């Protein structure tokens, strides 16, 4: 009997010890648990770090993606002629692109590091673009700072031409007017070149003067011919009068292109000797059809890229011509120098991308 009592006493003591240990353990765990608000702070820190990492990853991705866009800037080449160069400019909201291209025409401005050999900006150093306002008729009014007036008289027309042709690359800009510090200008400030109701591409660019011009039987036309400087090939627009005695201006323009740039020796002749139109040009729904003899070809069915670009750049300057379809007699399919077929009429956007402001 005493043995049984001793056994029960030992069991009771053991249970008491075990329960006491469990109770103390629970208290210890509660003491070690962090407060709920401390745990929330830790989660916020983790999220913030992950967000920063994600932001850095996104920024890194953005910088690797294309952040520039091609723009046509009309600059001065090594021969003092106004010519376009396609440069990569930072992407901006559409409303700011006109101001941007003007800023890239300023000497010692952001264009400096981008200038090809032999080219220079046209607007006087320090010129600021104070504002732009486009009207419903396509007139873009440009407001510039007083520094704009600090140019030589002989550069005046080139400045006006460069501004006009650069800004009218945008489809909804037809002509350009000028303000200086908010004051409207009817003429350029140094040599008095008239601006009137606005300067347009119809006023011409790199105008060539020839003797005995028959103004009645001729028409001022801007043509594009290639030039080269330090292996950089580019196109130069030249305005001169084309004889239109037969009344067919389009035919006269093509024949003048085939004849070449004439005495402007720094421009290149791209048409082969003996090249002729075999049919009169026809214009249907904005597409100009031209049919040449086989002398226009380089070989077989290959037509020179520069011949095609000369034709398209020049002829689409006319408002009624949207595209050019070139054919050659006895040739079923024309191809470019890379062997790609001309399966549809060629537009100016092939060579000179454009957009609206």
Q: Using one digit for the tens of pLDDT, what is the confidence trace for 216-243?
A: 778 899 999 999 998 899 999 999 888 8
Same domain, 240 and 167: no
Task: Output the pTM of the full model.
Answer: 0.78
Kindly state the average pLDDT of the residues 145-160.
98
Reported as a single tens digit per residue, the pLDDT across 271-308 is 999 999 999 999 999 999 999 999 999 999 999 999 99
Same domain, 226 and 177: no
Co-location of 197 and 276 in the same domain: no
Q: What is the mean pLDDT of the segment spanning 208-216?
A: 67
Domain assignment present for residue 35? The answer is: no
Same domain, 196 and 77: yes
Task: Domain count for the chain, please give it.
Answer: 2
Q: Answer yes or no: do 226 and 312 share one domain.
A: yes
Structural domain includes residue 148: yes
User: Is the domain of 223 the same as that of 197?
Assistant: no
Q: What pLDDT is recorded for position 114?
A: 96
Say how far apart CA 54 and CA 285 lie, in whole Å: 53
**pLDDT exceeds 90 at position 29:** no
End-of-domain residue from the set 172, 203, 234: 203
User: What is the rounded CA–CA span in Å between residue 94 and residue 72?
Assistant: 15
- Asked if residue 259 is part of any domain, the answer here is yes
Query: 140, 172, 203: which is the final residue of a domain?
Result: 203
Domain co-membership, 343 together with 234: yes
In a domain, 57, yes or no: no
pLDDT of residue 37: 37
- Mean pLDDT confidence for 332-342: 96
The verdict on residue 24 lying in a domain is: no
Instruction: Verify that 183 and 227 share a domain, yes or no.
Output: no
- Are both 235 and 339 inside the same structural domain? yes
Report, as an integer, the average pLDDT of 140-144. Answer: 98
Residue 197 lies in a domain: yes
Q: Which residues contact 150 (CB under 8 A, 6 or more apart)?
A: 124, 125, 126
pLDDT (average), residues 343-356: 87
Together in a domain, 253 and 168: no
Domain check: are 177 and 225 in the same one? no
The whole domain housing 286 covers 218-350
- Considering the domain architecture, whether residues 189 and 242 belong to the same structural domain is answered as no
Segment 210-220 shows an average pLDDT of: 71
Residue ending a domain, choose from 203, 237, 254:
203
- pLDDT band at residue 39, thresholds of 50, 70 and 90? very low
pLDDT-wise least confident of 47-61, 182-196, 274-288, 317-331:
47-61
């Amino acid at each position: 009997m005493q043995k049984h009592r001793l056994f029960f006493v030992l069991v009771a003591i053991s249970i008491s010890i075990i329960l006491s240990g469990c109770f103390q353990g629970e208290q210890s765990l509660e003491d070690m648990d962090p407060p709920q608000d401390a745990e929330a702070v830790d989660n916020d820190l983790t999220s913030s770090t992950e967000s920063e990492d994600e932001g850095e990853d996104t920024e890194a991705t953005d910088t690797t993606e294309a952040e520039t866009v091609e723009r046509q800037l009309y600059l001065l080449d090594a021969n003092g002629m106004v010519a376009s160069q396609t440069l990569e400019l930072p992407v901006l909201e559409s409303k700011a692109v006109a101001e941007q291209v003007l800023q890239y025409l300023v000497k010692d401005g952001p264009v400096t590091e981008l200038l090809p050999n032999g080219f220079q900006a046209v607007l006087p150093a320090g010129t600021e673009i104070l504002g732009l306002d486009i009207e419903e008729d396509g007139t873009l009014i440009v407001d510039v700072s007083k520094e704009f007036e600090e140019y030589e008289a002989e550069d005046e027309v080139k400045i006006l031409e460069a501004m006009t042709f650069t800004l009218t690359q945008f489809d909804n800009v037809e002509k350009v007017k000028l303000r200086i510090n908010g004051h409207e200008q009817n003429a350029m400030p140094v040599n008095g070149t008239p601006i009137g109701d606005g300067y347009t591409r119809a006023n011409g660019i790199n105008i060539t003067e020839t003797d005995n011009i028959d103004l009645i039987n001729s028409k001022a036309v801007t043509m594009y011919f290639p030039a080269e400087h330090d292996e950089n090939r580019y196109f130069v627009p030249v305005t001169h009068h084309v004889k239109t005695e037969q009344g067919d201006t389009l035919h006269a323009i093509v024949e003048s292109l085939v004849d070449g740039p004439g005495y402007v020796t720094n421009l290149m002749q791209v048409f082969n000797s003996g090249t002729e139109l075999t049919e009169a040009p026809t214009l249907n729904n904005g597409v100009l059809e031209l049919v040449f003899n086989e002398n226009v070809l380089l070989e077989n069915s290959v037509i020179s890229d520069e011949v095609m670009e000369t034709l398209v750049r020049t002829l689409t300057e006319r408002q009624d011509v949207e595209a050019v379809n070139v054919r050659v007699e006895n040739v079923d399919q024309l191809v470019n120098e890379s062997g790609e077929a001309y399966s549809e009429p060629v537009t100016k956007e092939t060579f000179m991308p454009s957009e609206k402001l």
